[in-house]
A and B are shown apart, each in its own frame.
Chain A
């Protein structure tokens, strides 16, 4: 719009609701996402602290699951791999947008959405096939919750990644205005890091180092 360009002195497209050049709300959105990531990171830290604290204490010698049936590490890393592939795909798509490659973004985000869906399914399969239940000791409890956190992050991705496909196809993401796609990729990067940290803890910190743990008995006659 020539009137737009003249009125604001910029060639940037304008944000429909406020009339600002789109880079201004983009800056706000970027900061908002960073703050959300900080908050989410603190929550993830709480889970990791809970895991490592109980692992280091081995209270009542009840850290290990029954019959030392630890979870299979392979599935943890497959979930990380799925999340990583989806994230890389979206970044690959985002990088093409400035060169009018919105088609590549739509395709990459579409494939990423399918990968996220498959990863989420894999995560649910893992949760339902653990050789222990959530009440089988501290390791079992903490591992279940690391996986629940992964489910939460993957579910978030399952909402925002297909949205990028829809928005790109609807012309909302353009070479002049693609900050939302970048923000989704940023959040995916964090989600992958969070899932990776969970997998790292759950697969490397299994047997407790504390062999002289305090005993509280069983409270059973």
Chain B
């Protein structure tokens, strides 16, 4: 120990400062990351293509093993090169060498006094990471939305083929996985990182460097996915059933590398969010005082932590089949396509709840503020979250009723799938119960609550139909299924994210969101959404299959309406995006607590200081005790009537 530093008014012995605070991270950023990633991938490609790869070697599926290996190595080199260039390995190497961070190092890495450039560096401050996630989610949603427009253009122009069928199929698959990734991060990423630590009264996340690592891994994961469109595409939908995936062009490797990298990112983020929530709560924040959003994030993270590795390994083994010629999914060589489907759907279905639960919890969080009444049955909400987490792990086979795998397993899984509607129903009932007899302050976040309840009811009820084996035999692979999961993922997931954005925007940016523009964008998108997917239900009931670009003229009207609806959604989302950008740049300054919320994030100043609170708060009351006087709040609480117990009104 060479010196001391004053940390929160305490003199703390410091390790020796080996260089300027931050060390090598002073010289790394997204620019060095991209350069290192490109150099690593180009060098790998050139060396591999000239010296190591046996061009023309084919495996049992007649795909080029050598070329596949080369492309895989190139993508992996990009990922490692980028992570080295951005500075991700500096921390572990310092740790291994015994060069621990000083307080000055930690402050530099948190982006202190670095202005806006800190958003482009390996910055550890949770608020920076949350903002990075928000921008990344918006970019991915824009990309996925653009592809949705292309899909609807093809399906809406019924008199001609707009795209090559292979390109169309690739757009379908890429749209699916881009949107899945975007929706997984869209609430947990921005608000789980920015808001959650403040909400529980912590100064940062439990593992700040892992926090930055999770974001930059996500960043590194995106280019290989986008590259697939330039390399033959992924023509098999986002599920990429086998052995189609093994037989696909090399673009498929981009998808697989992306999923594997994204799973690491999600796992790291989950570890961080759970640990932060469990171990860093403020004094007095007992489990029955934890804000419901925190519980929702924990529930989502638990599902992601436990089940994402299954998804990851489904792709690792698929990549292995493609690159080194193993035979996990090739029946001729002793593999089984059902193995893939089981591993895939073991996450594939919980992932729906990974998307929906944090959004639902965010809406519960904000609705009590706009209704000025306590959450209706906090305990039932907790039971709902716990039930969804538990049952979500035993429902995956309902995606496989029609695959021929274990037909007798269909009925138990039909029962478990229908059972999950009970805890999920708890969550909807808690929302309805909270609204009941309330006097809502109808602002944009509250409008999102109404929208999501409607979408959840429609998506939930159609989901119950689809969980029935006999109904699924008719509906499987139809547009009805597409409409159902869009109601759940987009209707309940994306609109909840809009509500959360509108609610926490003032805290994150220090400015109020333009309510008028934002509401116009939201309602236009909501109307377009109903038109798009309502019409799709009709097309599905009429028998239109999904993932086709040519269809009978009987489905024309439904498809025209869906296309009009889709472009309406696009217009609405652009208006909402415009509202975000203009408000962020020059909106009305927000106070520290514009909504009058009681949770801790509203009790600190805006913009939030580097370490969130000058002194760590102590929690003395329920976060949802609206209308209940706080006995410790002597400044504002009315004088207690001696005959009336404290806390009752």
Q: Mark A209-221, 1 if CB is under 8 A from B, else 0.
A: 0000000111100
Chain B residues with Cβ below 8 Å from A134 are 320, 324-326
Interface centre among A45, A58, A141, A217 (most CB of B within 10 A): A141
Are A35 and B305 within 8 A (Cβ)? yes
Are B10 and A50 within 8 A (Cβ)? no
Are B7 and A18 within 8 A (Cβ)? yes
Distance of A38 Cα from B95 Cα, bound (Å): 23
Given contacts A31-B278, A59-B335, whether A19 and B271 have CB atoms under 8 Å apart is no
> Out of B103, B271, B339, which one reaches A17, CB within 8 Å?
B103
Distance of A42 Cα from B312 Cα, bound (Å): 10
Chain B interface residues toward A at CB < 8 A? 4-5, 7-15, 59-60, 92, 95-98, 100-103, 105-106, 203, 206-207, 210, 267, 270-272, 274-275, 278-280, 305-310, 312-314, 317, 320-321, 324-328, 331-336, 339, 342-343
> Out of A46, A53, A167, A172, which one reaches B314, CB within 8 Å?
A46
Q: Mark A60-77, 1 if CB is under 8 A from B, else 0.
A: 111100000000000000
Within 8 A of B (CB), among A25-66: 27-28, 31-32, 35-36, 38-40, 42-43, 45-47, 49-50, 53-54, 57-63
Are A32 and B275 within 8 A (Cβ)? yes
Given contacts A16-B103, A19-B7, whether A40 and B309 have CB atoms under 8 Å apart is yes
Chain B residues with Cβ below 8 Å from A139 are 334
Task: Identify 12 new A-B residue pairs, CB closer than 8 A, beyond the known A27-B279, A61-B334.
Answer: A7-B9, A7-B11, A13-B13, A18-B203, A35-B270, A49-B343, A50-B339, A58-B334, A60-B331, A62-B333, A141-B326, A216-B332
Are B271 and A39 within 8 A (Cβ)? yes
Distance of A88 Cα from B313 Cα, bound (Å): 30
Within 8 A of B (CB), among A139-176: 139-142, 144-145, 159-160, 162-163, 166-167, 169-172
Interface residues on A, range: 35 or more
Distance of A135 Cα from B305 Cα, bound (Å): 31
User: Least Cβ distance of B396 to chain A in Å?
Assistant: 13
Chain A residues with Cβ below 8 Å from B275 are 28, 31-32, 35
Asked whether any CB of chain B lies closer than 8 Å to the CB of A14, the reply is yes
Given contacts A59-B334, A144-B326, whether A16 and B306 have CB atoms under 8 Å apart is no
The 9 closest A-B pairs by CB, nearest first: A62-B334, A138-B334, A170-B98, A19-B7, A141-B326, A43-B309, A46-B313, A135-B325, A163-B96
Chain B residues with Cβ below 8 Å from A138 are 327-328, 333-335
Distance of A50 Cα from B334 Cα, bound (Å): 12
Are B313 and A47 within 8 A (Cβ)? yes
Given contacts A27-B279, A31-B275, A135-B325, whether A62 and B12 have CB atoms under 8 Å apart is no
Chain B residues with Cβ below 8 Å from A62 are 327, 332-334
Can you list 20 A-B contacts with CB-CB less than 8 angstroms, sorted by A residue number? A4-B13, A8-B10, A18-B203, A32-B206, A32-B271, A32-B275, A39-B270, A39-B271, A39-B309, A42-B305, A46-B309, A46-B314, A60-B332, A63-B334, A137-B327, A138-B333, A162-B96, A170-B98, A216-B332, A218-B332
Are A38 and B306 within 8 A (Cβ)? yes
| Closest residue of B by beta carbon distance from A27 | B279
User: Least Cβ distance of A202 to chain B in Å?
Assistant: 15
Are A16 and B102 within 8 A (Cβ)? yes
- Provide the main secondary structure of the chain A interface: helix
Asked whether any CB of chain B lies closer than 8 Å to the CB of A3, the reply is yes
Chain B residues with Cβ below 8 Å from A63 are 334
Are A145 and B326 within 8 A (Cβ)? yes
| Closest residue of B by beta carbon distance from A25 | B206
User: Least Cβ distance of B120 to chain A in Å?
Assistant: 23
| Closest residue of A by beta carbon distance from B5 | A16
Q: Mark A187-207, 1 if CB is under 8 A from B, else 0.
A: 000000000000000000000
| Closest residue of B by beta carbon distance from A144 | B326
Distance of A150 Cα from B24 Cα, bound (Å): 33
Distance of A138 Cα from B332 Cα, bound (Å): 10
Chain B residues with Cβ below 8 Å from A35 are 270-271, 274-275, 305
Distance of A134 Cα from B330 Cα, bound (Å): 13
Are B335 and A54 within 8 A (Cβ)? yes
Chain B residues with Cβ below 8 Å from A218 are 332
> Out of B8, B280, B317, B324, which one reaches A50, CB within 8 Å?
B317
Within 8 A of B (CB), among A1-17: 1, 3-4, 7-8, 13-17
Are B320 and A141 within 8 A (Cβ)? yes
Chain A residues with Cβ below 8 Å from B274 are 31, 35
Distance of A159 Cα from B93 Cα, bound (Å): 9
User: Least Cβ distance of A191 to chain B in Å?
Assistant: 15
Distance of A50 Cα from B320 Cα, bound (Å): 13
Given contacts A145-B326, A170-B98, A216-B331, whether A14 and B10 have CB atoms under 8 Å apart is yes
